[in-house]
Amino acid sequence: MRSYRIGTTSFVHPARWIDNARLLAGRVQDVEILLFDPPTPQSLPSPPEVAALARLGRDTGLGYTVHAPIGFALASADPDRRRMAVDATAQVIRHTAPLAPHAVVVHLAPGEREGDPPPTDAGAFQARAVESLRAILSATDLAPERLCLETLEYDFALAEPVVEALGLSVALDVGHLARDGVPFDAVVSRNVGRARVVQWHGTDPAGRDHRSLRHYPRADGIRLLRLLRGAGFGGVLTLEVFGAQDFEESLAVLAELEEEVAS
């Protein structure tokens, strides 16, 4: 029996958030509401759509996680850029609060943008990140443990003191770890105890990520499920794919791997 809940994204079908949630309810237990763009009336579900999502959750038991906008620099050396990042993230958290999300996932860029090299002064970076994330928590009713920093392409050891300082959680993106060739145990084993979300997807031969789990190393998939089982992981295991075929294939691969782990 699973200790975790299975989720997927609100981009499985080419439709709005509520349409995806209705199609996925009963097939997964959580939908990751993806809000990648800066918050505007066009980039967010409208208040009536948020209310409809909340009703669907109450009626079906479907839960939600929220992925906050990307491209912001919460630890920027520029105070104005940090303020913009804090305001955008807090706005999204307040807007989706009626969903009572299991987690809100945020990216902590290593510099002024994602993909930048790690900062030369790790302590200053961490202090700025703590200040920004504390401001987000102060501006919302979100409990610290529901705010998750996602593992990105840099060494996540840089972000772990920030997680510890504020009592945050972690979103383990094992799909990106595999894509980037990051040793599995270096990040996953160290953070599984504070993980609230695990994001799982494959990378196809062309280098495109967020694809079916048939493109994820099978041996690592088995190791992941055994690790989650051994740790009693009770969060959400999100099949972070963006298409119906990838979703169906991922469900089939997950069932195969779970059967092998249980045998």
Least Cα distance to 261 among 232, 219, 233 occurs for: 219
Q: Which residue in the block uniquely carries the two structure tokens 């959580």?
A: 30
* DSSP H stretches of helix in 66-166: 79-95, 122-138, 160-166
Token pair for 57: 């959750």
The per-residue pLDDT for range 30-86, each reduced to its tens digit, is 999 999 999 999 999 999 999 999 999 999 999 999 999 999 999 999 999 999 999
* Neighbour tally for 220: CB within 10 Å: 14
User: What is the C-alpha separation between 156 and 163, in angstroms, rounded?
Assistant: 10
Q: What percent of the chain has pLDDT over 90?
A: 94
In what helix (H) or strand (E) does residue 254 lie, and over which residues does it extend? Answer: helix 244-262
| Torsion-angle region of 37 (φ positive above 0: left; ψ -120 to 50: alpha; else: beta) | beta
Residue 263: band (very low, low, confident or very high) from pLDDT cuts 50, 70, 90: confident
* pTM, two decimal places: 0.96
Is the CB of residue 210 less than 8 Å from the CB of residue 240?
A: yes
Residue 109 corresponds to which amino acid?
A
Angle between helices 218-231 and 184-191 (to 10 degrees): 20
Domains of the chain in sequence order: 5-262 (3.20.20.150)
Task: State pLDDT tens for residues 156-172.
Answer: 999 999 999 999 999 99
At residue 133, does pLDDT exceed 80? yes
Which of 113-117, 185-189, 204-208 is most confident? 204-208
Indicate the pLDDT class of residue 154, thresholds 50, 70 and 90. very high
